[in-house]
Amino acid sequence: MDVLDHAEPGSLCCCEYRNRRGERAHILQCCCACDELDQAADRLFRGHLVGKDSIDEVLSEIDDRLRVPGLPVLLGGIGGAWHIGVAGAAPWVVLPALLTVGAMSARGLLLASVALLPSLYYFHRRMLRIRRRSSLLMSWMLASIAYETLVYTLVARHVAADSPIMPRTFGTPLAATLVLFAIIKRTEPTLLRSDVADASAALSRAVRCAVCGTHVPRYDHYCAWVDEPIGAANHRAYLGFVTCMLLTCAIGAWQLLSYEGRRWCTWQRVLYANESSLLLSCGLYGAAVGVAVGALLVHQCLLMLAGRTAYEARRGVRRAHDAPATSWLVHLRDFRLQTASLATPSTFAVLLRSRCPEAQAGGGGGKEGTE
């Protein structure tokens, strides 16, 4: 979430904000005087088509008005309402709706499976037309974790009846995923921490992220799922996050599908009787996400063994260590020396403070990354 406050700090109350025109507005005015929506409705009533530009204007206005009250200044906030936008709100509605449709019948499950990726791609492209940096995929990932955890909680006591340790095998990687996600979000990617042994090599591979506009040492890529550029400061945390996410998806999907299989589900009933359930829908969704996350982890490991970043592989950048005779052990050593360690006091201390304003400026110079 972003705080879009262009006025002086503390000049706005917790429910006020500056809209995209620079005007002072209140969150209770979210349904008032939307000229863009009125113009689009007039065109529809007159029998005219609404163009893409008009739809984008309406979405931009809705995106600007979707906010929640922020923390008052007296409680440590900076004043102003927090921006959520369409990208932050849509996944929490669309994803449960698709999984619910998949739980109605086998045909609904097929329909939800077919509609999932196109709907995600459509919303993502639409959000990029409104904002250069969209939090849609990150919100989708958080909504997936929340909804899968909610469904798992509903059957946790039944799963625990078979083996009391099974809920812990799901909860442990889930908790680790959330902790590592928080570390990635709170770690400033533009800063080169003191525990990076080969700082000069990390700086020589720095690139300016095209999405964030920041100069990232040992830039790997911009990850839309965590809405952060991945570099020397957070690459190890990112690999740990992807690994724990894979374990969470795999264990959760296996336990949900196993329980549902023992309860009633057989492929004959799904295929021939047109039956489905919420556990089956969520279990298959978790398995599909696990396959995608596993492919991402394999890709990252192959790049690490080859001694290249995702940016260098995409742009065809070759380095001295890319010679065929170079051992993969050398590349692993370089990765260890050029990235910050995961569990250090500075890593956890950064969770307790906001990002440095001077780091947000991103520094100067460097190569330009493309996403």
**Residue 368: predicted pLDDT:** 57
Q: How far apart are CA 339 and CA 189, in angstroms?
A: 11
Structure tokens belonging to residue 356: 């440095």
> Can you say whether residue 43 is alpha, beta or left, with left for phi > 0 and alpha for psi between -120 and 50 degrees?
alpha
Q: Is the dihedral of CA 288, 173, 133, 69 positive or negative?
A: positive
- Under 8 Å between Cβ of 331 and 304: yes
Structure tokens belonging to residue 213: 């506009």
- Under 8 Å between Cβ of 97 and 104: no
**Residue 72: predicted pLDDT:** 54
- Under 8 Å between Cβ of 262 and 166: no
Q: Helix, strand, or coil here: 82?
A: strand
Instruction: Describe the strand order of the beta sheet including 215-216 as a list of residue ranges.
Output: 215-216, 207-208, 367-368
Instruction: Write the DSSP string, 33-77.
Output: --HHHHHHHHHHHTTPPPPHHHHHHHHHHHHHH-EE----GGGT-
The DSSP bridge partners found for residue 18 are 24
Instruction: Write the DSSP string, 112-165.
Output: HHHHHHHHHHHHHHHHHHH-SS--HHHHHHHHHHHHHHHHHHHHHHHHHHH-TT
Instruction: Write the DSSP string, 196-236.
Output: -S-HHHHHHT-EE-TTT--EETT--EEETTTTEEE-TTTHH
Q: How many CB atoms lie within 10 A of CB 267?
A: 9
- Under 8 Å between Cβ of 346 and 195: yes
Q: How far apart are CA 140 and CA 136, in angstroms?
A: 6
**Residue 354: predicted pLDDT:** 41
- Under 8 Å between Cβ of 229 and 209: yes
How does pLDDT run along the chain (371 residues), one tens digit per residue?
444 444 444 477 777 777 777 778 777 767 676 666 667 667 667 776 766 667 777 777 777 778 878 765 444 455 677 778 888 888 999 999 999 998 888 888 899 989 888 888 888 887 887 777 888 899 999 999 999 899 888 887 776 666 778 888 899 999 999 999 999 999 888 888 777 888 888 888 999 998 888 899 999 999 999 999 999 999 999 999 999 999 999 999 998 888 877 766 666 666 667 777 888 889 999 999 999 999 999 999 999 988 889 998 888 776 655 555 567 788 888 888 888 887 544 444 444 444 444 333 444 445 555 55
**Residue 306: predicted pLDDT:** 87
Q: Helix, strand, or coil here: 167?
A: helix
* H or E element, residue 180: helix 166-186
**Residue 348: predicted pLDDT:** 47
User: What are the extents of the domains in the chain?
Assistant: 16-85, 135-368
Q: How far apart are CA 323 and CA 302, in angstroms?
A: 16
Distances (CA, A) of 302 to 57, 297, 356: 43, 9, 33
Q: How far apart are CA 335 and CA 300, in angstroms?
A: 12
Q: What is the dihedral of CA 64, 66, 67, 68, to 10 degrees?
A: 180
Q: How far apart are CA 120 and CA 13, in angstroms?
A: 35
Query: Which residue has tokens 């429910």?
Result: 15
